[in-house]
Amino acid sequence: MPPKADLQSAVQLDLALAAPLERKHTHWVFTRHSAVRASKVFTTYWRFAAERQEIFFKRLTGAPPPWTDDPILGRFKFTNAYRAADRVSQFLIRSVIYEGSQSLEEVFFRTLLFKLFNKIDTWKLLERELGVITYAEYDFTRYERVLTQALARGERIYSAAYVMPAASRFEHQRKHGTHLHLLDHLIKEQVPQKIAQARGMREAFHILRSFPMMGDFLAYQYLTDLNYSEPFDFKEDFIVPGPGARDGIRKCFEDLGGLTESQIIELVTDMQDQAFEELGIRFRRLWGRRLQLIDCQNLFCEVDKYARLAHPDVQGISGRTRIKQHYRYDAEPINYWFPRKWGLNEEVSSYIDALRRGDSLRDAQLLVTGRG
């Protein structure tokens, strides 16, 4: 393995030999939106989604790395094709959302407390120092002290995944103090009840978006996480593209044909089956669950990064040319478990049990015939 300083150029050399995902290019025709023009990166979008999902299933079987021949996917960090299958989302769903009281207030408190920091180690620290995390026993001073002491020890309490702005309305000498005040304020303003009573995901988004610090991207991400729970149950028919997704869309499309970026994501989500068939790609769904709007939005973000090396000639909005995060193998297995209302967990369990019994991959897949 070359040193990090030379890794980027090494990947470029590999690409000349390893056939990047855009090798087969299809001329896309959008009959209902004839002015929309896709670029060669749009073909890569679908190939990337399928290959990333294959990596997911190979890891699930317990196969050792490498899980792909693609030099970019093998060396850099990318999220899963399905957002809920990522390690942090899995921890949030199983160990935060569905662990403890399922009341509106408590689910809201735990979910947003976790997401403010978006870091598993921070949640475990709070549990270790404070015990069971509940809003009923919430005390600002105790929470703030635990986090401040962690910072004094040189520990990171925030994930690098989201840039968390300080909420200026809630003055505190530390950013985490302002975020704790904000969370308490949201609950006292009965935001959990207001969101649960919203007539749809769009209305719920605007409720959350109206509060300090809640920009478009964060408000939508938080709402998506709340929607994994049972108390909050919205049809996934509304999307807000983040900065990375907007960059990816601009790389995948030479002309949006007058559509908004949200409409492009809706178009792409609707056409997924047709696109995979057109390209001759076998895409293994998440036990029958199609890619949702949030998944297709995230894939645009990931393809933006992938295209920096696979398609260096195609420019997006940001002009970034490097992929910062390198893949680091984490041997700790994930016990996959999804929101109960999706109806997937029995099938996931049957699939994994079959693999543990030593059944062939084909026999294990037959347990979810027609849904894999």
Helix (H, G, I), strand (E, B), or coil: what is residue 37?
strand
Alpha helices in the chain (DSSP H): 4-18, 40-60, 71-75, 87-91, 104-117, 120-130, 140-152, 175-188, 191-196, 201-209, 216-226, 243-252, 261-270, 272-279, 293-310, 345-357, 361-366
* Domain final position from 199, 226, 253: 226
CB distance 181 to 170 below 8 Å: yes
What single DSSP character describes residue 271? Answer: T
Is 265 a member of any domain? yes
Give me the domain span that covers residue 164: 99-226
* Domain final position from 186, 204, 226: 226
Is 195 a member of any domain? yes
Q: Which residues of 323-360 are buried (b: 16+ CB within 10 A; e: fewer)?
A: beeeeeeeeeeeebbbbeeeebeebbeebbebbeeeee
What single DSSP character describes residue 255? Answer: E
Q: Tell me the mean pLDDT in the region 61-85.
A: 93
pLDDT of residue 13: 32
Give the chain's mean pLDDT.
88
Q: Select from 124, 202, 126, 117 the least CA-distant residue to 156.
A: 117
Q: In this structure, are 250 and 174 located in the same domain? A: no
pLDDT tens digits for range 207-258: 999 998 889 999 999 999 999 999 999 999 999 999 999 999 999 999 999 9
Query: Could you tell me what percent of the chain has a pLDDT over 70?
Result: 86
Is 138 a member of any domain? yes
Give the pLDDT band (50/70/90) at residue 325. confident
When computed from its CA atoms, the radius of gyration of the chain, rounded to whole angstroms, is 21
Nearest-10 crossing angle of helices 104-117, 120-130: 120
HEC states along 294-312? HHHHHHHHHHHHHHHHHCC
More confidently predicted of 187 and 58: 187
Give the pLDDT band (50/70/90) at residue 6. very low
CA-CA-CA-CA torsion sign (299, 304, 309, 314): positive
Q: In this structure, are 245 and 208 located in the same domain? A: no
- DSSP secondary structure, 75-98, as one string: HB----SSGGGSHHHHHIIIIIIS
pLDDT of residue 193: 98
Is 343 a member of any domain? no
Q: In this structure, are 161 and 104 located in the same domain? A: yes
Is 303 a member of any domain? yes
* Domain final position from 313, 329, 345: 329
Q: In this structure, are 112 and 192 located in the same domain? A: yes
Q: In this structure, are 221 and 265 located in the same domain? A: no
Q: In this structure, are 110 and 222 located in the same domain? A: yes
Q: Select from 149, 153, 157, 152 the least CA-distant residue to 176.
A: 157
pLDDT of residue 20: 46
Give the pLDDT band (50/70/90) at residue 316. confident
Is 77 a member of any domain? yes
Total domains in the fold of the chain:
2
Q: In this structure, are 250 and 163 located in the same domain? A: no
pLDDT tens digits for range 128-187: 999 999 999 999 999 999 999 999 999 999 998 766 665 566 666 788 999 999 999 999
| Tokens representing residue 154 in the block | 């040189």
Check whether 62 has a pLDDT greater than 70: yes
Q: In this structure, are 205 and 105 located in the same domain? A: yes
pLDDT of residue 63: 83
Is 89 a member of any domain? no
Is 352 a member of any domain? no
pLDDT of residue 163: 66
- Please give the model's pTM, rounded to 2 decimal places: 0.89
Q: In this structure, are 205 and 316 located in the same domain? A: no
pLDDT tens digits for range 37-52: 999 999 999 999 999 9
Q: In this structure, are 265 and 210 located in the same domain? A: no
CB distance 104 to 192 below 8 Å: yes
The one-letter amino acid at 68: T
Q: In this structure, are 171 and 52 located in the same domain? A: no
Q: In this structure, are 245 and 196 located in the same domain? A: no
